[in-house]
Chain A
Amino acid sequence: MSVLIFAETSEGRFKKISFEATSYAAKVAEMLQTNLVALSINASEPSQLSDYGASKILNVKNARLDNFNAKAYADAIKQAAEAEGATVVVIDSSSNGLFLAPLAAYNLKAGLGSNTVALPVSVAPFIVKRTAFSNKAFCQTELTTSVKVIGLAKNAFGVFENKVEATVEAFDPSLNDADFNIVSKEINKTSGKVSIADADIVVSGGRGLKGPENWGMLEELAEVLGAATACSKPVADLDWRPHNEHVGQTGKPVAANLYIAIGISGAIQHLAGINASKVKVVINTDPEAPFFKAADYGIVGDAFEVVPQLVEKLKAFKQNNA
């Protein structure tokens, strides 16, 4: 018996989300009184995972897997889980994790608990707590299969250092040529900016900002905070901001630690996409704006006065706390 964590890499390096999933999986292994095995693919420093509780690390080295391939990666996870007798497999909720988790679970004849937000409620029966109804509710789901896959929601657990002795071993899954029927032709990244999916902090603007020319102060705010920028739907529809910044029910979901909404009214379709964020701050001139009901902290005020001050004060704060 063991717990297996698939720790994703990007160009050989682990993502923060992989350390979070490893920290989580280590706790699950503790609950099951077993050890945590990690699987990584083409990681340049696989032993880093021992800092977060993995006592055995399987690293695959195979140039065919340099590009993400959901089917082939899912196959590798299945083979590693079987080789290690894993009864629980943990996969993160990056776009790649969401893509491959159902494939891996299906191959393992395992029940999948996607969007899991906490440690298992119990391990016998095996019950996980997941989000449902666009984060308006939680659902306790029992996974009734002998092997279980947990899809850990973003920013649901946190990263915890927990250094253990570890061995690193090579792992060589047999690859199925049919998995390579899907060929990556090009990857387009919005360069040099923190993406909404990867960001801990998201600074978001709405129609209250009046026009695209006023986004300079938001970008400055995002820069001091190391945040990604986002916007409400009408802002993207008006072409004030690119469509990939639109968040909400019909846009991107945001599960950040801190979401700062500036000049956004807080319509239910907007909130549906950002509810999973931990701490919400709203800056709006209208004290009756629905966002104040959903936020943790609020300033009733004019963004054009508040935001520049916030930028200056945060700069000073960052300097003092550097």
Chain B
Amino acid sequence: MKILVCISHVPDTTSKINFTEADTKFDTSGVQFVINPHDEYALTRAIWFKEKQGASITVVTVGNQSVEPTLRKCLAIGADDAIRVDAEPKEAFFVAEQLSAVVKAGGFDLVIAGRESLDYNGGMVPGFLAASLGYNFVNACTGIEIDGANATVTREIDGGNEVLTTNLPLVVGGQKGIVEEKDLRIPNMRGIMMARKKPLSVVPAVDVTPSSKTVSFEKPPLRGACKLVDADNIDELINLLHNEAKVI
């Protein structure tokens, strides 16, 4: 089985979010970047397949050189090789078409992405990618088993889950549950040493006309201070929720 794991490189959640260039660009200064958490779960499941069932794992990111440490971290955790598509990840459709070209060139039969990335939170890339490839697709995946070409996939639905059967080739949008948090791996010294020798290839972007563009970013208006209600005055809270906030 040839697995491709799509990695997006995102600001750590504790990062301060600011914008530059007249609020059109994310300000990366002082921001710590990490593997998108959903993608880290996805990668860990891929490693499980590699160890238990035999599979090769390639990780891919569409981005400029600054994403390479994130790809190296994936190699240190256990991916076999990495690809960087050399382009600004402008928008989801553009990114998905880049990934689609990588899948076609590499003949991958299982593509594991994350449900959504923590930066632009689009939740669009995995679906676009599946549609572009004509592969089967399951989103919000919390479990996956592969047996030959057959796949059993669990997805989260509102208020529960659904178990589906399908077959490879397949794209899934994974999330926590695909492995448990305790199964996530921290790269060890040996992994980090080995990662330096693993191949990281840089490929040029294919020509794609984007379907959207960012006009501007804005931060939510500063919120008014929290209204404190005395613990002995619960009626006041009910009154505020009913008459002011109108939520009960």
Report which A residues bind B (CB closer than 8 A): 70-71, 94-96, 98-103, 105-107, 109-115, 127, 131-145, 181-190, 193, 195-198, 200-201, 225, 237, 243-244, 249-251, 257-258, 268-269, 272, 278-279, 281-282, 292-302, 305-306, 309-310, 313-314, 317, 321
Interface contact B131-A112, CB-CB below 8 Å: no
Given contacts A103-B127, A201-B247, A251-B176, whether A296 and B217 have CB atoms under 8 Å apart is no
Interface residues of B in 197-248 (CB under 8 A from A): 210-220, 223-224, 226-231, 234-235, 237-238, 240-242, 245, 247-248
Write the chain B residue with the least CB distance to A112. B124
Interface contact A182-B118, CB-CB below 8 Å: no
Given contacts A127-B215, A197-B159, A281-B237, whether A268 and B14 have CB atoms under 8 Å apart is yes
Interface contact B37-A250, CB-CB below 8 Å: yes
Interface contact B215-A279, CB-CB below 8 Å: no
Give the docked Cα–Cα distance between A107 and B136 (Å): 14
Within 8 Å CB of A142, what residues of B? 212-215
Q: Which of B56-64, B73-81, B164-172 contacts A (4 or more CB under 8 A)?
A: B164-172
Asked whether B181 is an interface residue with its Cβ less than 8 Å from the other chain, the reply is yes
Write the chain A residue with the least CB distance to B135. A181
Instruction: Name the 7 nearest CB pairs between A and B, nearest first.
Output: A102-B127, A195-B159, A301-B231, A106-B131, A111-B211, A197-B158, A189-B160
Given contacts A102-B128, A144-B211, whether A70 and B139 have CB atoms under 8 Å apart is yes
Given contacts A114-B124, A258-B247, A293-B226, whether A249 and B13 have CB atoms under 8 Å apart is yes
Give the docked Cα–Cα distance between A70 and B130 (Å): 12
Interface contact A94-B124, CB-CB below 8 Å: no
Interface contact A292-B165, CB-CB below 8 Å: no
Interface contact B226-A282, CB-CB below 8 Å: yes
| 19 cross-chain CB contacts under 8 A | A95-B139, A102-B130, A103-B130, A110-B211, A114-B121, A132-B121, A137-B17, A138-B220, A141-B215, A143-B212, A183-B164, A183-B165, A185-B163, A185-B164, A269-B13, A281-B237, A294-B226, A310-B234, A321-B242
Give the docked Cα–Cα distance between A162 and B248 (Å): 23
Asked whether B137 is an interface residue with its Cβ less than 8 Å from the other chain, the reply is yes
Within 8 Å CB of B43, what residues of A? none
Within 8 Å CB of B13, what residues of A? 134, 249, 268-269, 272
Given contacts A102-B131, A187-B157, A305-B231, whether A139 and B120 have CB atoms under 8 Å apart is yes
Closest chain-B Cβ to A73's Cβ sits at a distance in Å of 12
Within 8 Å CB of B213, what residues of A? 141-142, 144
Given contacts A111-B211, A112-B211, whether A187 and B160 have CB atoms under 8 Å apart is yes
Asked whether B126 is an interface residue with its Cβ less than 8 Å from the other chain, the reply is yes
Write the chain A residue with the least CB distance to B181. A250
Given contacts A102-B127, A201-B247, whether A306 and B234 have CB atoms under 8 Å apart is yes
Write the chain B residue with the least CB distance to A280. B226
Interface of B is mostly: mixed
Indicate which residue in B119, B140, B237 contacts A99 across the interface (CB closer than 8 Å).
B140
Within 8 Å CB of A94, what residues of B? 158
Within 8 Å CB of B248, what residues of A? 201, 225, 258, 314, 317
Within 8 Å CB of A237, what residues of B? 181
Write the chain A residue with the least CB distance to B209. A144
Give the docked Cα–Cα distance between A183 and B164 (Å): 5
Give the docked Cα–Cα distance between A243 and B160 (Å): 11
Interface contact A131-B247, CB-CB below 8 Å: no
Interface contact B14-A139, CB-CB below 8 Å: no
Asked whether B53 is an interface residue with its Cβ less than 8 Å from the other chain, the reply is no
Give the docked Cα–Cα distance between A300 and B120 (Å): 35
Interface residues of B in 121-155 (CB under 8 A from A): 121-128, 130-132, 136-140, 152, 155
Closest chain-B Cβ to A103's Cβ sits at a distance in Å of 5
Within 8 Å CB of A71, what residues of B? 137
Within 8 Å CB of B214, what residues of A? 139-142
Interface contact B241-A134, CB-CB below 8 Å: no
A sample of 18 more A-B contacts (CB under 8 A), given A102-B128, A114-B123, is: A95-B139, A96-B157, A114-B121, A132-B120, A133-B11, A134-B118, A136-B17, A138-B217, A141-B215, A144-B213, A181-B136, A182-B138, A183-B165, A185-B164, A195-B159, A249-B37, A258-B241, A292-B226
Asked whether B32 is an interface residue with its Cβ less than 8 Å from the other chain, the reply is no
Write the chain B residue with the least CB distance to A128. B212
Give the docked Cα–Cα distance between A243 and B122 (Å): 24
Interface contact A258-B245, CB-CB below 8 Å: yes
Within 8 Å CB of B20, what residues of A? none
Interface contact A188-B132, CB-CB below 8 Å: no
Within 8 Å CB of B68, what residues of A? none
Asked whether B108 is an interface residue with its Cβ less than 8 Å from the other chain, the reply is no
Give the docked Cα–Cα distance between A110 and B232 (Å): 55
Asked whether B162 is an interface residue with its Cβ less than 8 Å from the other chain, the reply is yes
Indicate which residue in B152, B161, B176, B220 contacts A250 across the interface (CB closer than 8 Å).
B176
Within 8 Å CB of B86, what residues of A? none
Asked whether B109 is an interface residue with its Cβ less than 8 Å from the other chain, the reply is no
Interface centre among B17, B165, B211, B229 (most CB of A within 10 A): B211
